C-alpha cells in the first residue's frame, strides 16, 4: 500500500501488545482505526486514549473465534467508515503442556482464536477488499513458532503453522488473480506482551482441567523460561514499525526474532534438507 491517509485499518487483538502498537502506528500514518478485542475494558481504554491523541477510532468488542462476530465487525467498519483497506488478523492466545496431556478445551480455545480467528478474518474481509478494486493489505500474525516446533507448545505450534500456510496460500492466490490486495505474515520471537497471561480472557466454558503431575514439572520450568524471554523481548513498537514497513513495501515475511531463535529456524531448514532427525529448538513465542 502506498496511500495511508484516510484509509481504514481493522486490527484484532487491538487493545494491547502488538495489536495496539500497530494500531497506533497506522493511526500515525493517517489511517482510521477499527479496534477489535475480546477484553472489553482494555478495548475501551485503548480507544479512548488513541482518540485523545487525535486518532479516529471505532471500538468493536469481538470474539474472533466466532464467525458471526467477525462478520459484525466488518459490517460495523463499513457502516462507520465506508470501507476497509487493511486487515490485521492479530488476536492470539497461548497454552503450554505436553502434547498428549493438553485438554480438549485447550485445543478448542487456542485453535478457535489463533487459527479460526484468522480464517474468519480472511473469509470475511478478503471479499470486501477485492470488491473495492483498490489497493489493500492483509496481515496475519503467526509466530516463529509457526516456522519451528518447540516442545510443550503443540497446541500453539499447530495454530501458528496453520496461519503461515494459510497466508502463503492466500498470497499465491491473490497474485495469480492479479489482485491489488497483498498479504504479509508476521512471525515474531519474544515480544514484551501479555501473551503468557492469555488465560485472563479464556471463556468459562473452555476452562481446562489442572495439569497432570507427570508433565507439570517440565511444563512449569518451560513456562518460567518463556516468561523470562518475553520480559526481555522486543518492544511492541518495534514490531509495529516492521509491520508498517512490510505493508508499505508489499513484503510478505515479517520476522523479528532474537539471534538464537533465528538460528533454530536455520537449523530446522538444514535438517529438512539433509532429512535429519529434528533437534529441539529454543522456545519461541510472540
Q: Which residues contact 176 (CB under 8 A, 6 or more apart)?
A: none
- pLDDT digits over 14-63, tens only? 999 999 999 999 999 999 999 999 999 999 999 999 999 999 999 999 99
Domain ranges of the chain: 8-274
Q: Which residues contact 217 (CB under 8 A, 6 or more apart)?
A: none
Q: Which three cell numbers stand for residue 239?
A: 514490531
What is the fold of 8-274?
A: Rossmann fold (3.40.50)
- Strands 32-37 and 57-61: what pairing? parallel
Q: 54: alpha, beta or left, given left = phi > 0 and alpha = psi -120 to 50?
A: left
Predicted confidence (pLDDT) at residue 8 exceeds the cutoff of 90: yes
- pLDDT digits over 85-143, tens only? 999 999 999 998 899 989 999 999 999 999 999 999 999 999 999 999 999 999 999 99
- Strands 253-256 and 32-37: what pairing? unpaired
In this structure, is the dihedral angle defined by the CA atoms of residues 154, 156, 157 and 163, taken in order, positive or negative?
Answer: positive
78/97 Cα distance (integer angstroms): 41
Catalytic entry in 4, 88, 156, 234 = 156
Could you give the residue ranges of the DSSP H alpha helices within the chain?
Answer: 17-28, 40-52, 67-81, 104-110, 116-131, 154-177, 213-231, 236-249, 259-274
156 in active site: yes
In this predicted structure, which of 57-71, 161-175, 200-214, 266-280 has the lowest mean pLDDT? 200-214
- pLDDT digits over 227-247, tens only? 888 998 999 999 999 999 999
- Predicted confidence at residue 64, as pLDDT, reads 98
- pLDDT digits over 194-218, tens only? 988 888 999 988 987 665 555 577 7
Q: pTM of the full predicted structure? A: 0.94
146/24 Cα distance (integer angstroms): 26
Nearest to 107 by CA among 165, 151, 159, 160: 159
Kindly indicate the confidence band of residue 281, based on its pLDDT and cuts at 50, 70 and 90.
Answer: low
Nearest to 157 by CA among 216, 191, 107: 107
Amino acid at each position: 500500500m502506498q496511500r495511508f491517509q484516510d484509509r481504514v485499518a481493522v486490527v484484532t487483538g487491538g487493545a494491547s501488545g502488538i495489536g495496539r502498537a500497530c494500531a497506533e502506528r497506522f493511526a500515525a500514518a493517517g489511517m482510521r482505526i477499527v479496534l477489535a478485542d475480546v477484553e472489553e475494558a482494555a478495548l475501551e481504554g485503548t480507544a479512548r486514549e488513541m482518540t485523545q491523541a487525535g486518532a479516529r477510532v471505532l471500538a468493536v468488542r469481538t470474539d474472533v473465534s466466532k464467525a458471526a462476530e467477525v462478520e459484525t465487525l466488518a459490517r460495523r467498519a463499513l457502516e462507520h467508515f465506508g470501507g476497509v483497506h487493511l486487515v490485521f488478523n492479530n488476536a492470539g492466545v497461548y497454552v503450554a503442556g505436553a502434547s498428549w496431556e493438553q485438554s480438549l478445551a485447550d485445543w478448542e480455545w487456542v485453535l478457535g482464536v489463533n487459527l479460526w480467528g484468522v480464517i474468519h478474518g480472511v473469509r470475511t474481509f478478503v471479499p470486501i477488499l477485492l470488491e473495492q478494486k483498490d489497493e489493500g493489505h492483509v496481515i496475519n500474525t503467526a509466530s516463529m513458532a509457526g516456522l519451528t516446533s518447540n516442545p510443550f507448545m503443540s497446541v500453539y505450534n499447530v495454530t501458528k503453522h496453520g496461519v503461515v500456510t494459510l497466508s502463503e496460500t492466500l498470497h499465491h492466490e491473490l497474485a495469480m488473480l492479479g489482485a491489488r490486495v497483498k498479504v504479509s505474515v508476521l512471525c515474531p520471537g519474544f515480544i514484551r506482551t501479555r501473551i503468557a497471561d492469555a488465560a485472563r480472557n479464556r471463556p468459562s466454558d473452555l476452562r481446562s482441567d489442572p495439569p497432570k503431575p507427570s508433565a507439570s514439572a517440565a511444563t512449569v520450568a518451560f513456562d518460567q523460561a518463556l516468561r523470562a524471554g518475553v520480559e526481555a523481548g522486543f518492544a511492541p513498537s518495534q514490531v509495529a514499525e516492521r509491520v508498517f514497513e512490510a505493508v508499505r513495501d508489499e513484503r510478505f515475511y515479517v520476522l523479528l526474532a532474537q539471534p538464537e531463535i533465528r538460528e533454530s529456524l536455520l537449523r530446522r531448514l538444514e535438517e529438512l534438507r539433509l532429512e535429519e532427525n529434528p533437534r529441539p529448538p529454543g522456545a519461541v513465542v510472540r
